[in-house]
Amino acid sequence: MPVPDHLQTRRLLLRRWQATDAAALQPILEANTAHLRPWIPRRVAEPVSLEQLIERLEGFSAAFDDGRELRYALFAAEGRTLLGEVSLFPRGASGRVAFDAADHLEIGYWLRRDATGRGFATEAARAMLDLATTLPGMARVTIYCDERNTSSAAVPSRLGFRLAGAIIESAIVPGDPPTPLQIWEYVLDQT
């Protein structure tokens, strides 16, 4: 399944993560831990050593190559400032699967605190939705977001997704509370 290594929008460059991005990403994670921790998985939000971050990004790149997930670093088109991430995850009835076993896709995104409120998440998610329409066999696209994160929930609403349901996700880390998630859905035109 050929997918682009990078995409350009009006204000953003979306480029697959590279190990060399670790030096720019590390201070962003350190400065934004409290901002990100409530909303995205700890394994993505938590700051780690530069060596561990390089390994993480190499894993993202391998998953991209293997068709297990498409994670793009978000850069401001002018200046190439790293702003966050947008991702496209293949899903099936059992959860996340490889693209060749998927029947729908999930968009994920996060932004550093000082990049929020300017429409970057919506613009990046729109690029992922546009990419999703080019992938064969996909019936719909979903966005899962914590119902307490009203800024994040505004993104699928702006893009024409409909609120399809809600679930309570068990805590991954012992002692953390369960997470109330909204499931937003966009049905793809199969014609």
The mean-pLDDT minimum among 30-34, 70-74, 173-177 falls in 173-177
> pTM (2 decimals)?
0.92
Report the run of H or E that residue 168 belongs to, with start and end.
strand 162-169
Write down the mean pLDDT value for the chain: 91
Give how many domains the chain has, as a whole number.
1
Q: Which structural domain, as residue segments, surrounds residue 86?
A: 6-187
Q: Is residue 181 part of a domain?
A: yes
Q: What is the pLDDT of residue 1?
A: 63
Residues 159-181: pLDDT tens digits?
Answer: 999 999 999 987 766 777 788 89
Handedness of CA 85, 86, 90, 92 (dihedral sign): positive
Higher pLDDT, 189 or 51: 51
143: domain CATH number is 3.40.630.30
User: Three-state DSSP class for 160?
Assistant: coil
Strands 179-187 and 82-92: unpaired
Most distant CA pair in the chain, distance: 48
User: First and final CA of the chain: distance in angstroms?
Assistant: 20
